[in-house]
């Protein structure tokens, strides 16, 4: 298998697993589930996200497409920082459940934006073709 294909497959698999874990943890947070305290569930997201980051760095180096050089990658990196901040508030830092739920939902929207930017290779994500057509 070509190294690029292998690395991209690993990256997409980690994106899917990371999203699934975040979604489930958020749903359990809303339900006040004891599963949130299960040690493997607290460790696994960090392992998955580490592999996700490593595969992203590998793809950047392999493709010679860099954040702050390519606008769509810059948009992804900035949105990733926002996603991490919202996710931290949603699952750990926010004091009220209402704020945790709102930041969890906002994080899910930011995640969808990141995926749309990755697929479209456009900082506007799926809306990019609409904006280009309007110009």
Task: Choose from 63-72, 78-87, 116-125 the range with maximum mean pLDDT.
Answer: 78-87
CA 133 centroid distance within chain: 28
What DSSP state is assigned to residue 135?
-
- Give the torsion sign (CA, 7, 111, 86, 103): negative
What pLDDT was estimated at residue 125? 87
What pLDDT was estimated at residue 127? 75
pLDDT tens string 22-51: 999 999 999 999 999 999 998 999 999 999
Residue 6: pLDDT band (50, 70, 90) is very high
Taking residue 22's Cβ as centre, other Cβ atoms within 10 Å add up to: 21
Cα distances (angstroms) measured from residue 12 to each of 51, 121, 128, 131, 135:
11, 15, 22, 27, 32
Please indicate, yes or no, whether the overall pTM of this predicted structure exceeds 0.85. Answer: yes
pLDDT tens string 43-64: 999 999 999 999 999 999 999 9
Look at residue 113 and tell me whether its pLDDT is greater than 60.
yes
């Amino acid at each position: 298998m070509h190294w690029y294909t292998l690395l991209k497959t690993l990256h997409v698999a980690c994106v899917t697993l990371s999203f699934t874990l975040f979604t489930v943890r958020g749903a359990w947070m809303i339900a006040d589930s004891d599963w949130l305290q299960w040690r493997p569930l607290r460790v696994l997201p960090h392992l998955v996200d580490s592999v996700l980051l490593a595969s992203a760095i590998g793809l950047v180096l392999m493709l010679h497409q860099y954040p702050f050089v390519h606008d769509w990658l810059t948009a992804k990196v900035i949105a990733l920082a926002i996603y991490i901040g919202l996710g931290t508030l949603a699952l750990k830092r926010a004091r009220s459940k209402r704020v945790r739920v709102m930041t969890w939902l906002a994080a899910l929207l930011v995640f969808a934006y990141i995926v749309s930017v990755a697929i479209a290779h456009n900082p506007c994500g799926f809306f990019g073709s609409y904006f280009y057509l309007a110009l």
